[in-house]
Amino acid sequence: MDLTRLEINRRTALLTSAAIAANVINPMRAFAQEAPRKGGVFNVHYGAEQRQLNPSIQASTGVYIIGGKIQENLVDLDANGQPVGVLAESWEAAPDGKTVTFKLRKGVTWHDSKPFTSDDVAFTAMNMWKKILNYGSTLQLFLTAVDTPDPQTAIFRYERPMPLNLLLRALPDLGYVSAKHLYESGDIRQNPTNLAPVGTGPFKFVKYERGQYIIADRNPDYWRPNAPYLDRIVWKVITDRAAAAAQMEAGELHYSPFSGLTISDMARLSKDKRFVVSTKGNEGNARTNTIEFNFRRKELSDIRVRRAIAHAINVPFFIDNFLGDFAKLGTGPIPSISTDFYPGPNTPQYPYDKAKAIALLDEAGFKASGGNRFTLKLLPAPWGEDISLWSTFIQQSLGEVGIQVDIVRNDGGGFLKQVYDEHAFDLATGWHQYRNDPAVSTTVWYRSGQPKGAPWTNQWGWEDKTVDGTIDNALTELDPVKRKALYAEFVKEVNTELPVWMPIEQIFVTVITAKARNHSNTPRWGSTSWHDLWLSA
């Protein structure tokens, strides 16, 4: 994709229009009090298949958007962003932080009619969250056992303290439970249930037709009274964003989550009264755009080259001309929306400086020969238009300092496999999602020892024992003031070493039919169960 100056100017005019300020970043529309309506099919845009539907073993909005309606977590967030029980009714931590006891909900059954018990929680925690789940392996690093004295009690035991607030903030994403009786035999990763999930949630899996659709129907035995309202959810696999927008306008889709449409289509639909276009309901999934470096490549193992790459890219220009009101300049892995942990901008930064980038590359010994120093393979994730634009901007920017970049595009499953399992990349770019606390989904990008193949974890071939120590100490620190100080040190360390660069902050944009009710009413709504979602006539 070769974006001309004319195209840049067109996007600039679009993104600075009143439509963005007035409609896209807007409060929810108010409705008169209405009685919930039973029935209906809710059609969802599913832009990139991940070949995985079980949120117990892969933490990702692309998994939650489906699996979160079928399986349930111990704890979720309420409308105010506070922890609220789902499969857990209550919890209590010991004063030393090494024991956390959950009392589980009674009378809950799996979709195959087997009872849900503490054995399911213990099995999932020890065998999935701790060993496989891409963010869970770091969060549960010091989990030693889960005791089950009775079917409704699960006692988590830790070698080092686990701050209760951290655990409760993490469990909405990292606390989905799987059925022990379906997973206790064989290889968990290869279990067919991962693509035909069985849960306790409001919707029951029906069918997955690869490349076309996924269907789940109403669970008539759901534990919440009178829920859910919808009869069926259909996730339609549509990789062409323009085609998805056309289906939204034709009434064939009701919802496109997580900035799934083009920037221009989101702006255009925001002026159509048939749709709500907003960032509301995504506050718990703030994201940063990344550049991920493979240290197995000699050039990228040199810190001068990584810093040169950062200095070579004019990030403010990219934001102003391509993203507009959707983004702001980032300063590292903890975004500014994190009021509890943001360390401020006074950490090592890499402002645009083409001359400095060239000088660093020369100093590292990679002189330009015939205008080219070396060639890198860049793999962009297929999640959103901004990633595609960003990858092309990286390519053009690095070309100006003598680094040729070849872009290799894949579907979702191919991207995850090549980057995080096969390590078949030089540079990768996608989204890092910040989920309320750095220990949930951020430090795992940097701590060494992550399971091979775990998405969005440190698969860079990079290890730093000092950073590992800071991460572990922050994870287990009970004093909130000391925890914040440790995370400030963490940001300083990783911004200095730069194994991953996170220079842009964004909030996802939702496009949804104005007929939807009870939507976007929690900070991670797209990932939640939708037990109270309904469609007006």
> Helix 465-475 to helix 480-497 angle, to the nearest 10 degrees?
160
Residues 6+ apart with CB under 8 A from 18: none
Amino acid at 484: K
Q: Tell me, what's the pLDDT at 17?
A: 38
Peptide bond into 523 cis (omega under 30): no
Sheet holding 275-278, edge to edge: 203-209, 213-218, 232-237, 41-46, 255-256, 510-513, 275-278
CA–chain centroid gap for 470, Å, is: 23
pLDDT at 33: 72
Once rounded to an integer, what is the mean pLDDT over residues 116-127? 98
User: What is the Cα–Cα distance from 137 to 127, expressed in whole angstroms?
Assistant: 10
Instruction: Indicate the SS3 state at residue 236.
Output: strand
Q: Is 520 left (phi over 0), alpha (psi -120 to 50) or beta?
A: left
The mean pLDDT of 200-222, rounded to a whole number, is: 98
Residue range 254-265, pLDDT digits in tens: 999 999 999 999
Instruction: Report, in this order, helix, strand and coil percent for the chain, each rounded to 5.
Output: 35, 20, 45
DSSP 3-state of 406: strand
CATH topology of domain 71-182: Dipeptide-binding Protein; domain 1 (3.90.76)
Give the domain ranges of the chain: 5-23+34-49+210-282+509-535, 71-182, 284-506
Degrees (nearest 5) of the Cα angle 449, 450, 452?
Answer: 115
Q: How far is CA 365 from CA 70, 302, 495, 498, in A?
A: 54, 10, 23, 19
pLDDT per residue over 214-267, tens digit each?
999 999 999 999 999 999 999 999 999 999 999 999 999 999 999 999 999 999
pTM score, whole prediction: 0.86
Per residue in 8-52, pLDDT tens? 444 543 443 344 444 444 444 445 578 999 999 999 999 989 989
Token code pair at residue 176: 């989905």
pLDDT score at 148: 98
Position 7 scores a pLDDT of: 52
Q: Is 77 exposed, middle or buried, given 0-12, 13-18 or 19+ CB atoms closer than 10 A? A: buried
User: Regarding the domain with residue range 284-506, which homologous superfamily does it belong to in the CATH classification?
Assistant: Dipeptide-binding Protein; Domain 3 (3.10.105.10)
Cα gap 12→267, rounded to integer Å: 12
The residue with tokens 């958007």 is 65
pLDDT in tens, 358-381: 999 999 999 998 889 999 999 999
514: how many CB neighbours lie within 10 A of its CB? 14
Contact status, residue 307 vs residue 360, Cβ threshold 8 Å: yes
Tell me, what's the pLDDT at 26? Answer: 44
> pLDDT over 70 for what percent of the chain?
94
Structural class in CATH, domain 5-23+34-49+210-282+509-535: alpha beta
In angstroms, the CA 259 to CA 511 distance is: 8
* pLDDT value for 8: 47
